Amino acid sequence: MSIKKKLGSIVISLAMISIFSCVNLDAGAVQKNSERELALIDKLHEIADPSLSPEQRADLVISKMSLEDRIRIIGGYQRFYIKGFAEYGLRDVEMADATMGLRNHGRVTAFPMAIVMASTWNRDLIFQTGNTVAKECRAKGVDVLLGPGVNIYRVPNNGRNYEYFGEDPYLAAQLSGEYIKGIQDLGIMAVVKHFVADNSDFDRHRMSSDVDERTLNEIYYPAFKNAVQNAGVKSVMTAYNPVNGVSASENTQIIGTLNNKWGFKGIVMADWESVYNAYEPFVAGLDLEMPGPRFFNAKNLIPLLEEGKITEEQLNNKVKRILSTCFSLGIYDRPAVDSNFAAHSDENRAVAMKVAHEGIILLKNKDNILPVTEKVKKIAIVGPRAKNTPSTGFGAGMVTVPEDAKVDFYTGIKAAAGEGVDVRKVGASSKFAREADVVFVCVGFSGWLEMESMDRDWEMPSSHVRTIKRAAKNNPNTVVLITAGGGVETESWINDVAGVVHTFYLGEPRGTAIADIIYGDVNPSGKLPYTMVKRYEDLPASEYYLPEGKKLFRFPRLALNGSKVLRKIWHVEYKEGIYLGYRHHDTFNVAPQFEFGFGLSYTTFDIKNAKLSATEISGDQSITVTVDVTNTGDRAGSEVVQLYVADKESSLDRPAQELKNFEKVFLEPGETKSVTMTISKDALSYFDPAVDSWVAESGEFEIRLGNSSRNISQTLTFNYKK
Ligand code: BGC
């Protein structure tokens, strides 16, 4: 990286630290006192009997609330609260970020990033993860978790890819849906975000994502729609970015789809400082402005009411959505802190460890350089991410690892190596690195380079690439450990090294988890939730990502928050449409470096004997696929059977194949399990903008089964009749 660039990123990072630390100081600002809260609950129960429905109870409270209080509750409070009102028995309701655990709440478990959760392809584990985060919320008195983020991975540059679930709408929907169910299972409100097409953090208040209706429906909406219709999410946060030229918080196209087409009844809340005036968001359907009542306040709204531009019914409807949603989760009927739950318990940390174990991806393993055997007596650890290995990107998603729980890659590997193995942190050209049995090169990004509010380069810092090359030149047994929230350039060095492990950001488990994988105590089973391209130009969105003249690393325009006048919106057209990631690579025959769904294991698997329950289905009938998976190697391990659907003939162009189901199975050596997966009409449909709905056409469909999008071992066909 040039000195100029480095200085630029330091300045940005310092600015970001100051911005985020303002936020930090505010968290936990409202004191919780269970005796006072119990008295409030009594008061509330006098007004709104708990045996009534959440909606009836909300109506009863609203009938007592003054106009000013009804206006006051739809604007945030103390940056992270829904304001409470003692006279109606309502306590303050606290919110906290986010998917990877509780930010700013002291000793909590720092989970691996959401992108690692996606790489596990394990629904049960991600339900358990959400459930564990919810336990920590209950322990800390947080009622609303500001996650999960489900924005689709469009380009590797997005500074927040690590907070999301990858490029595929089905995978993202399935795993985030489980996470949401896990959270809400314990009465904590999940907030699915950022609605919608928030796929870059560059100049995020002004960069409009211009996306056509088919692409919105097939690629960018599904994880949100699934959250609403299948996972029952209670709140949706609108994005910073305008969508098709209109700010998300006041966008009738997208909020209308959410409320009217999908039937969402919960809280539509704005992202922090992303409301730019009062009237438009109010009528578009925004229920809650955050983090404070900058526009949704009496000064703005009372004149609008008096002029008849907005109605009291509209106001009451927003209050009703806020109150009834909280009632439905029991929030106002319990004190905030519940001592029956613990944060950072061994049990909670074990879940974080399992996510790390199952999410780490082994990308290259020439001549089985991994796992490290007992023959290895000298290990050189090289590179800037070996010590103080970053646990997270920077921003609203970050959770601090408690000081005494910090284990970086060097420390973790050294501890696992034990007595009799010489493990040293050395330079790539040192004596020691040349003679070592294995060299681990720890490189990649960190929170300073990959963060909210800006985008990052595709290439890792050039000095890191030089370190890889130097290490590989001096020692053929070089294994690269990549720290990054998404794809990076690998083509310039991949053939020089023996092994590559994608470690992402692993939260608290980082050093221990990586050592478990390297030593083979855990067999890797993570699979890529996005395509890693060979060349940046191979990315379908590379041409349309930033218009000419726009450069990365410009100072984030936070100063323009809230000011409509200063916000000159500019446009990014999503011209690649539905051909994103493997949909592009597989349809137009572009070879990836590592394909979507790819990840190696220390054992081998066979996927065979695939059968369909029928050769023809019609209408709403579904079809069942069974397939046998055998562990043909000599180590226990997990495999992900991936099911792709190909439409053989269709009126509109469609991708060559699309992921429509998957199942992860654990197998002992020699063991076979039969996997059953179901496909319904939805999985055969495309969105037809001409009729504004999903359409499944009659004809032949192919079911393709494999352990990656490009390693298909079984293909079956059937007919669908309308
Ligand atoms: C982020 C949100 C986050 C909010 C509150 C915003 O900057 O975009 O994801 O939930 O801050 O911290």
Question: Which of 333, 358, 383 corresponds to the end of one domain?
Answer: 333
- The 10s digit of each residue's pLDDT in 594-623 is 999 999 999 999 999 999 999 999 999 999
Cα of 544 vs centre of ligand 1, distance in Å, is 26
Q: Model confidence at 547, in pLDDT bands (50, 70, 90)? A: low
Q: Can you tell me the distance from the alpha carbon of 625 to that of 618, in angstroms, rounded to the nearest whole number?
A: 16
For residue 342, tell me if it sits in a domain.
Answer: no
Residue given tokens 């970001």 in the structure block: 16
Query: Is 531 within the bounds of a domain?
Result: no
DSSP string, 101-140: S-TTSSS---PPPHHHHHHHT-HHHHHHHHHHHHHHHHHH
Q: Domain limits at 676?
A: 605-721
CA distance 249 to 247: 6
DSSP 8-state class, residue 367: G
Ligand 1, from 146, 163, 269: best to mutate by most atoms within 8 Å of Cβ?
Answer: 146
**Going by CA atoms, what residue is nearest to atom 7 of ligand 1?**
272
Tell me what the mean pLDDT of segment 437-448 comes to: 97
* Greatest extent of the chain over all pairs of C-alpha atoms, in Å: 82
DSSP calls for 417-434: H-TT-EEEE--TTSHHHH
On whether the CB atoms of residues 368 and 426 are closer than 8 A, the answer is no
Find the 559 Cα to ligand 1 centroid distance in Å: 16
Q: What's the rounded Cα separation, in Å, for the pair 615 and 297?
A: 61
- Residue 522: is it exposed, middle or buried by C-beta count within 10 angstroms (0-12/13-18/19+)? buried
> What is the set of active-site residues?
271
Ligand 1 atom closest to the Cα of residue 23 is: 12
pLDDT at 568: 82
Count other Cβ atoms within 10 Å, centred on residue 714. Answer: 18
Residues in the chain: 722
Judge whether 201 and 161 are in contact, CB under 8 Å: no
Segment 222-232 shows an average pLDDT of 98
pLDDT mean over 124-141: 98
Residue type, 570: W
Here the tokens at position 374 are 């007992």
Q: Which position has the higher pLDDT, 442 or 569?
A: 442
Query: What is the residue-wise DSSP string for 477-539?
Result: -EEEEEE-SS----TTTGGG-SEEEE-----TTHHHHHHHHHTTSS------SSPBPSSGGGS
Q: Is 335 exposed, middle or buried (0-12, 13-18, 19+ CB in 10 A)?
A: middle
Asked whether 272 lines ligand 1 (CB < 6 A), one says: yes
CB 209 within 8 A of CB 573: no
User: Residue 288 carries which DSSP code?
Assistant: B
pLDDT at 12 over 80: no
pTM equals 0.96
> Which CATH number characterizes residue 620's domain?
2.60.40.10
**Half-sphere exposure of 468 toward its Cβ, with a 13 Å CA cutoff?**
25
Q: Is the CB of 146 under 6 A from ligand 1?
A: yes
Give the pLDDT band (50/70/90) at residue 564.
Answer: low
Amino acid letter for position 484: A
Q: What is the mean pLDDT of residues 158-173?
A: 98
Structural Rg of the chain based on CA atoms? 26
**Minimum-distance ligand 1 atom for the alpha carbon of 163:** 9
Domain membership of residue 552 (yes or no) is no
Q: By percentage, how much of the chain surpasses pLDDT 70?
A: 93
Helical spans, DSSP H, in 285-430: 298-306, 312-328, 346-359, 409-417
pLDDT score recorded for residue 234: 99
Give the pairing type, strands 699-706 and 637-647: antiparallel
Question: What pLDDT, in 10s, does the model give residues 58-106?
Answer: 999 999 999 999 999 999 999 999 999 999 999 999 999 999 999 999 9
d(CA 76, CA 74) in angstroms, rounded, equals 7
**Domains in the chain, number:** 2
pLDDT-derived band at 669 (thresholds 50, 70, 90) equals very high
* Positive/negative CA dihedral, 250, 252, 253, 254: positive
Give the model's pLDDT for residue 108.
97
Please check whether residue 542 lies inside any domain of the structure.
no
Written as one string, the DSSP assignment of 431-459 is HHHHH-SEEEEEEE--TTTSBTTS---SS
What pLDDT is recorded for position 24? Answer: 38
| Banded pLDDT at 202 (limits 50, 70, 90) | confident
> What order of strands is seen across the sheet that includes strand 207-210?
246-247, 242-243, 207-210, 570-573
271 lines ligand 1 (CB under 6 A): yes
C-alpha torsion angle, residues 212, 486, 593, 646 (rounded to 10): -40
**Closest alpha carbon to 188 in 98, 290, 269, 249:** 98
From the alpha carbon of 291, which atom of ligand 1 is closest?
Answer: 5
| Ligand 1 centroid from CA 294, angstroms | 16
With respect to residue 485, please indicate whether it lies within any of the assigned structural domains: no
Residues 609 and 716: their CA atoms lie apart, in Å, by 11
- pLDDT exceeds 80 at position 591: yes
Q: What's residue 1's pLDDT? A: 46
Cβ-based neighbour number of residue 589 at 10 Å: 8
Give the residue, by CA position, lying nearest to ligand 1 atom 8: 271
Answer whether 396 contacts ligand 1 (Cβ < 6 A): yes
Give distance in angstroms: CA of 350 to centre of ligand 1. 27
pLDDT in tens, 330-378: 999 999 999 999 999 999 999 999 999 999 999 999 999 999 999 999 9
Protein residue with its CA nearest to atom 3 in ligand 1: 396
State in Å: Cα 196 to ligand 1 middle.
Answer: 14
Q: Identify the bridge partners of residue 644 per DSSP, sorted by sequence position.
A: 659, 704
Q: How far apart are the first and last CA of the chain?
A: 57
Any domain includes 416? no
Q: Looking at 333, 362, 396, which one is the last position of a domain?
A: 333
- How far is the C-alpha of 51 from the C-alpha of 102, rounded, in Å? 32
Tokens of 134: 């919810």
Q: Domain for residue 81, yes or no?
A: yes
Indicate if the pLDDT at residue 557 is higher than 50.
Answer: no
Of 238, 271, 288, 289, the residue with max ligand 1 atoms within 8 A of its CB, to mutate for a pocket test, comes to 271
CATH number at residue 272: 3.20.20.300
Q: What are the pLDDT digits (tens) for 17-69? A: 444 433 434 456 777 888 999 999 999 999 999 999 999 999 999 999 999 99
Choose which residue among 24, 97, 247, 267 to substitute to test ligand 1 binding: the one with the highest number of ligand atoms within 8 A of its C-beta: 97
Is the distance from the beta carbon of residue 276 to the nearest atom of ligand 1 less than 6 Å? no
582 occurs within a structural domain? no
Question: Residues 709-712: contacts with CB within 8 Å, 24+ apart?
Answer: 709/582, 709/586, 709/595, 709/596, 709/597, 709/598, 709/642, 709/644, 709/657, 709/659, 710/586, 710/592, 710/595, 710/597, 710/598, 711/598, 712/644
Taking 70 as the threshold, does the pLDDT of residue 9 lie above it?
no
Q: Are 289 and 267 in contact (CB under 8 A)?
A: no
Q: Give me ligand 1 centre to Cα 23, in Å.
A: 10
If you measure from the C-alpha of residue 214 to the centroid of ligand 1, how many angstroms do you get, rounded to a whole number?
A: 28
Q: 134 near 188, Cβ under 8 Å?
A: yes
From 333, 360, 383, the end of a domain falls on 333
191 CA closest ligand 1 atom index: 10
H-only helix segments in 599-640:
none
Positive or negative torsion for Cα 471, 475, 481, 484: positive
CA–CA gap between residue 183 and residue 179 (Å, rounded): 6
Distance 65 CA to ligand 1 centre (A): 29
Ligand 1 contact via 201 beta carbon (within 6 Å)? no
**Per-residue model confidence (pLDDT) at position 21:** 39
Residue 465: how many other CB atoms lie within 10 Å:
17
